Amino acid sequence: MIGSIISLVILLLFVPTTTTIMAQTGDSISSRNVFRFSGQLSGWGSITPDIETKGWLGGRYIPQINYTHTLSNGRLIDFEGSASLFGELGVTSAPTVAANGNMKPYRLWARYATQGSEIRLGLQKINFGSAQLFRPLMWFDKMDPRDPLQTTDGVWGGLYRRYLLNNSNIWLWVLAGNKNPKGWELYGTGGDLSPEAGGRVQLPIPSGEAALSYHFRRADIVRLNLPNQQANEQRIGFDVRADVTVGLWLEAALTHYDKDVGLTTNQQMITLGSDYTFDLGNGLGVTAEHLLYGMGSKVFSYEETLNFSGLSLSYPFTLIDDVTTLLFYDWKNQQFYSFINWQKKFNHMSFFLMGFWNPETYQIPGQGSFSRFTGKGIQLMVVWNH
């Protein structure tokens, strides 16, 4: 199977980037078909001298195929398929080498769209909300704000979106086959792969927008040593953003189980944030957020809490050079997290030099101990887009 996929990738590399086919009836074009093959190849190496794994060397290739068939009256049908081919080596001080890798679908969806609505079926990315650093509405993805490529697994399901003339929009989704925890989820979805469902309504307000979101699923709580136990999980989210002199936003979410699962029975998150670009040189962008995360056996009981503050600074030195700095502070454990990224971007190539100084044990909610930015270290990443 691996050989077949490699052969397919090699074959596609010789396909022209864009192929357009037109069928004409009389003097009018009745249909238009566009096929495109693209991809992203990234490689990285990092040094982390203060933790057990002293260095990482890895790479990922994401080949992508897009096909669009344009219909009349602003309607279209399109398809996207991509795969993630990932491999990584970690070296310890022993020395020993640990290797891991995988090959899996990255996106695989089909969409039918009109001028005011769309429906998309398959493996896709679903994300929304106003927050940027700490996202209570990170329900279906796991994007790290420090990841320059913003890679994340998708979810299997269907998504319907309706766009109204007053800039309101309505989202409805049904998910199935996503057993592993997504986003903030502490437990996987029920072993019977029962469907999940939810929706979102977003409305315009003076100088901004506000939205209300909801999601329901059956959660598998077998990790509590209660075999074959499941609980109904309901989530309610609210976010609002207003652009006045500065950008201001609030994003909040409540997760509730209908069974007693200890402190995690109720989880509450709220983020307050603001951003502004100062007229200094080429423009200094500043984003600040604060997250309050609480858990308890009762709603809003806050028996266990975390408080995180975050600051992001970005400055473009030239058209191809910019620097971004991220600073997080954990008020409970009194720990700083720091990250800096210098990017040099050309037409098809990008170079990233990243430095970080973080605790060896991660406490940032939603990111987990799997992050490659633990401890102190540097990372060089090279990315080629074609």
Closest CA to 133 of 348, 306, 328, 334: 328
Whole-number pLDDT of residue 299: 85
Tens of pLDDT, residue by residue over 277-307, are 999 999 999 999 999 999 998 888 888 899 9
Tell me which residue of 254, 253, 192 sits closest to 219, measured CA to CA: 192
pLDDT at residue 301, rounded to an integer = 80
pLDDT in tens, 175-190: 998 989 999 998 888 8
Please report the pLDDT score of residue 360 as a whole number.
Answer: 80
- Look at residue 117 and give its three-state secondary structure: strand
| Locus of tokens 């469907």 | 195
Regions of the chain where pLDDT drops below 50: 1-30, 369
For residues 268 and 271, give the distance between their C-alpha atoms in angstroms, rounded to a whole number: 10
Please tell me the distance from the alpha carbon of residue 362 to that of residue 336, in angstroms, as a whole number.
11
Q: What is the pLDDT of residue 30?
A: 42
Rounded Cα–Cα distance for residues 263 and 164 (Å): 41
* 3-state SS assignment for residue 56: strand
Burial profile 300-316: b = 16 or more Cβ within 10 angstroms, e = fewer: eeeeeebebebebbbbb
Structural domain boundaries in the chain:
116-385
At the top level of CATH, the class of 116-385 is: mainly beta
Global pTM reads 0.86
Q: Label each residue of 235-255 as H, E or C.
A: EEEEEEEEECCCEEEEEEEEE
- The per-residue pLDDT for 262 is 87
Please give the torsion angle defined by the CA atoms of residues 128, 132, 137 and 142, in that order, rounded to the nearest 10 degrees.
90
Identify the burial level of 358 via C-beta atoms within 10 angstroms of its C-beta, where 0-12 means exposed, 13-18 middle and 19 or more buried. buried
- 313 touches 137 (CB < 8 A): no
Task: Pull the structure tokens for residue 341.
Answer: 């990224």
Distance, in Å, from the CA atom of 279 to the CA atom of 22, rounded to the nearest integer, reads 49
Burial class (CB in 10 A: 0-12, 13-18, 19+), 347: exposed
Nearest 5 degrees, angle CA 83-CA 88-CA 91?
175
Element (H, E) at 111: strand 97-113
C-alpha to C-alpha distance for 184 and 339, rounded to whole angstroms: 22
